[in-house]
Structures are given as C-alpha cells and as structure tokens.
Chain A
C-alpha cells in the first residue's frame, strides 16, 4: 500500500524566515511520482512540482527548493525567505506509474506572519 506522511500539522514562522516542510512516503513500487501542491484559502490546488523516482536531483525554483532522498523515502520542501503570501496548506502526494491516482498526505498548514 502507498502512504504519505506529513508529520507537521501546522508551522508558524515570521516573514523572511526559511521553513522546511517534511514528507515521508511508503511504496513497494520502484517507479513512482512525488508531488507537492499548495492549497490557498480559496481551495484550488496549485501544482508546485513533480518528481519521478529515478530522478533524485534536488530542484530549486526561485524561493522554493526540494530535497528528494530515496534512502530515507523523503521528499522535503523548503521555502526560503518566506512571505505572507506563502500562507496556505501544503500537500505532498504520491502516485504510481499506472493509474495516476494520487495518495495525499494529511497536509501541513503554513502560517507566515508579518
């Protein structure tokens, strides 16, 4: 069975602080995909990144960066110099090669205070 664990229920930071959101996954498949989504108060999911299991390169996109480590089954997300607009719920998700359906973690509420 596939499972995604986001142990941090809620994180509060002050603007300009760096923050890391943790994601640990479980799967028996060798081919899989990992995702991060942002859900602002409006409810619409915003796609942030997709990573397949064969690509362990870390990625940086502006203030966002992701650290994928198969050895620890983790796919952590770091926001550098956080801003108030980053306040949202962030979901980590896992998908198998076939079927495409996503298994979501419980989500982490990020509150960035000015």
Chain B
C-alpha cells in the first residue's frame, strides 16, 4: 500500500512552453502533497506544500506564478511549470502525506525528469 505515482516520468520540452506533472496517491487519500525539486548532484529542496481544496504554500524563493500547483482532490496534485526555460530543467519529486499530522507518514513518487531545450 501507500503508492504514489507521477506522470510523466520524463519530459522534454521547448523553451517557452508549459509542462504539467501529475502526482497521484493510488491507494490512499493524501491530505497533503509536497513538491520537491532536485538539480543534478544536489539535494532535494521543497518547493511547495499543497492541501486539498486550498492554495499551495510556497517556499521562499519559489515563484508561485511560474510553478502552478493544483490539488483538486485527495488523490491528485498537479504541478505546472509555465513558460519553461532551460534553468527549470530538473528532477521534480512529489510526496503525499497520509494519516494524522503526528504520524508524519510521507510517501514519495518516482520523480519526473524535466529537460527544457
């Protein structure tokens, strides 16, 4: 149980286009979903936290108008990279929180590798 999927697993796009990445919790309802970004040979950095039905909370330095997050249901969150540029090329990983806050369970998706040409 507790499986999180991401789609697509990799995407190549041209500069200036928008890309949507989906994160789904397959067998549980995720009250909270997190989006992380990982540049090559670097650590994971939290971009934003999204709760179903409410606006996402972005970390300092993350442009909310560029990285649009929608958490429309308890099983789906989407990250849209708008007007993508080569510097947005990165590995994007989502995770889903499960259960009560204190249980601190969090399950990661397999990641989406974005390359912007």
List the interface of chain A (C-beta within 8 A of B).
33, 37, 42-45, 47, 50, 52, 91, 95, 97-107
Interchain CB contact under 8 A, B46 and A43: no
Closest 8 A-B residue pairs measured CB to CB? Answer: A45-B108, A44-B110, A104-B43, A43-B111, A104-B44, A100-B97, A106-B43, A33-B104
Report A111 CB to chain B, min CB distance, Å. 14
Report A36 CB to chain B, min CB distance, Å. 13
List the interface of chain B (C-beta within 8 A of A).
32, 34, 36, 42-46, 49, 91, 93, 95, 97, 101-102, 104, 106-108, 110-111, 113
Interchain CB contact under 8 A, A50 and B104: yes
Interface SS of chain B: strand
Interchain CB contact under 8 A, A97 and B93: no
Interchain CB contact under 8 A, A44 and B108: yes
Report B97 CB to chain A, min CB distance, Å. 5
Nearest CB in chain A to that of B34: its residue: A101
Which residues from chain A contact B106 at a C-beta distance below 8 Å?
95, 100, 102
The distance in angstroms between the C-alpha atoms of A32 and B71, with both chains bound, is 26
Interchain CB contact under 8 A, A44 and B111: yes
Which residues from chain A contact B93 at a C-beta distance below 8 Å?
43, 45
Which residues from chain A contact B49 at a C-beta distance below 8 Å?
99, 101
Which residues from chain A contact B113 at a C-beta distance below 8 Å?
43
Which residues from chain A contact B97 at a C-beta distance below 8 Å?
100
Which residues from chain B contact A105 at a C-beta distance below 8 Å?
43
Interchain CB contact under 8 A, B43 and A100: no
The distance in angstroms between the C-alpha atoms of A43 and B6, with both chains bound, is 13
Which residues from chain B contact A102 at a C-beta distance below 8 Å?
34, 36, 44, 46, 95, 106
Nearest CB in chain A to that of B98: its residue: A100
Provide a sorted-by-A list of 17 A–B residue pairs whose CB atoms are within 8 angstroms: A37-B108, A42-B110, A43-B93, A43-B111, A43-B113, A45-B44, A45-B111, A47-B108, A91-B44, A95-B106, A97-B104, A100-B34, A101-B34, A102-B95, A102-B106, A103-B46, A104-B43
The distance in angstroms between the C-alpha atoms of A44 and B44, with both chains bound, is 12
